[in-house]
Every structure is written in C-alpha cells, then in structure tokens.
Amino acid sequence: MTPSPSATSTSQRLLDAAAELLREGGFEAVSTRAVAAAAETQPPILYRRFGDKNGLIEATALHVLEGYLAKKRALLNHSDDPVADLRRLWDLFVEFGFSQPECFAWTYGHSRRGDAVSAAGETTVRLLQDAIGRVAAHGKLRMSVERATALFHSCGVGFVLTQQQVPTAHRDADLSEIARECAISSIAATTGLKRARSATSARAAALREAIRDGSDVPLTAAERELLSEWLNRISDCRQR
C-alpha cells in the first residue's frame, strides 16, 4: 500500500529534523521528543512511523546516506578522465565524513548498524568499485579492481575517522589532498607512469574489466571466471 502524501510529508519532516539534530549534536541529540518538536508534530506519530529511538536513528542514518549516495551517483562518469572523477569522489567522501561525522562513524565504524544502513554502506563501496573499474578500463590501474577498491576505501575511511578526532580549527587543510594523492598514486598510473613496472598489471586489469559482463566474450561462465582469476593474479602481482 502506497503511503498517503500527508504521511510521506510527515515522515520527511521527521527525518529532516532528525538529520539536522544529528549533524548538530550527534546521536544523543536525536531524542524522540526533540525530533517531534523540531518537526512540529507529536511523539506518538513518530513512534508509529519508526518504532523506538533505535528505529529512528537507523532511519535517520539511512536518510542521510541516501542523500550522499545521490551525490555520488551524480559524480560517476562525470568526465572523460576517470582519475579526476576518483579525486572528486574522495573529496565528496571526506566532505560527507566531516559534515555528518556521527552518520559516517555509524556506517563505516559501527558493527551493530542495521541491515538497511549496512546495505547502503555496501552500495557506496560498489559505486567506488565502478569508478575504479573505469580507471582500469583506461589502462591506468596498477592492480586488480577489487584490491584497488579495498585499498582506496580503507585509506578514505581511515583518513576521515582519524581526522574526526582532531578539532576542526586544528585540522591541516592540505592533508586531505595529500592523503588522496597518495592513495591514487598507489592504485593508478597518473603522471610519468613507471611503465616497465606497471604496464602488465594495467593491461591485465583493463582486460579483466572489459570481460566483466561477458556479453561479447566467446567463453563459458566457468572459463570467464577462471580467466578473471588469472588476470586478477597478474594485476595484483608485486613487481620486483
């Protein structure tokens, strides 16, 4: 059954109010009474929509994440330069982490988050993998898409969670760019390219990305899976 427009509007007001309280005061500020007052409604309505406070917090975190995901999707395929797009995704990720620290920590640093938030967090990683897949398709990746995604994501999460412990006024304004470029140079060939060291890995990663959907590859599913395994191994081989 589709919710009525008035029900949707009330839920939206409650979530918007909760998101603002979350941003300003953290999860402690997201009480049912405070959210209901900010949304100009009554607590019983909130309970009917979201159950208890934990349900409200999960719904609020998901609401904030969906806004971030919409911005992230808009950045994908932003240009013909996949490395530049990757930089934009890093900057968006850091902006999200700094503007919504509680939601960020709940999503990426909390083991007890609900299924919906966990699924949204996994979606953010899949979108990152798609962006890194474009780097591979351009022949610029130094390793497999899977390894590059894990490394780049870990660098981003670690940077944000660490910087969240530093008072805003004391943060080094240039540190995000430095960390971003270190992460990118670890996974992608950008300028100057140490070709003797990375050309084979880049070609293997590009071929792995090209055969991913298998639509125009004359191989069985089992053969394609085996070839993908070999190409990933080549992509991830540490050069001596």
Confidence class of residue 98 from pLDDT cuts 50, 70 and 90? Answer: very high
What's the average model confidence in pLDDT over 152-165? 95
* pLDDT: which is higher, 195 or 206: 206
pLDDT the model gives residue 71: 92
Q: Is the per-residue pLDDT at 38 higher than 70?
A: yes
The pLDDT tens digits for 204-218 are 777 777 777 666 777
Return the CATH number of the domain spanning residue range 52-236. 1.10.357.10
Q: Which residue has the higher pLDDT, 16 or 1?
A: 16
Q: What are phi and psi of 188, to 5 degrees?
A: -130, 150
Domain borders along the chain are 1-51, 52-236
Say yes or no to pLDDT of 103 above 80. yes
Q: Which one is predicted more confidently, 237 or 1?
A: 237
- 152 pLDDT band, cuts 50/70/90, is very high
pLDDT at 191: 59
The mean pLDDT value for 45-57 works out to 83
pLDDT value, residue 221 = 78
pLDDT computed for residue 78 by the predictor: 67
Higher pLDDT, 31 or 196: 31
HSE-CB at 196 with a 13 A cutoff on CA atoms is: 1
pLDDT of residue 4: 45
Q: Is the pLDDT of residue 105 over 60?
A: yes
Cα–Cα distance between 45 and 190 in angstroms, integer?
54
The confidence score (pLDDT) of residue 1 equals 41
CATH code 1.10.10 for 1-51: yes
pLDDT at 118 over 60: yes
**Percent of the chain's residues with pLDDT above 90:** 34
Does residue 81 surpass a pLDDT of 80?
A: yes
Region 83-88: mean pLDDT is 93
pLDDT confidence tier of residue 58, bands split at 50, 70 and 90: confident
The pLDDT value given to residue 117: 85
Q: What is the mean pLDDT of the chain?
A: 83
Average pLDDT (15-44) is 86
Over 90: is that where the pLDDT of 47 sits? no
3-state secondary structure the chain: CCCCHHHHHHHHHHHHHHHHHHHHHCHHHCCHHHHHHHCCCCHHHHHHHHCCHHHHHHHHHHHHHHHHHHHHHHHCCCCCCHHHHHHHHHHHHHHHHHHCHHHHHHHHCCCCCCHHHHHHHHHHHHHHHHHHHHHHHCCCECCCHHHHHHHHHHHHHHHHHHHCCCCHHHCCCCHHHHHHHHHHHHHECCCCCCHHHHHHHHHHHHHHHHCCCCCCCCCCHHHHHHHHHHHHHHHHCCCC
pLDDT at 240 over 50: no
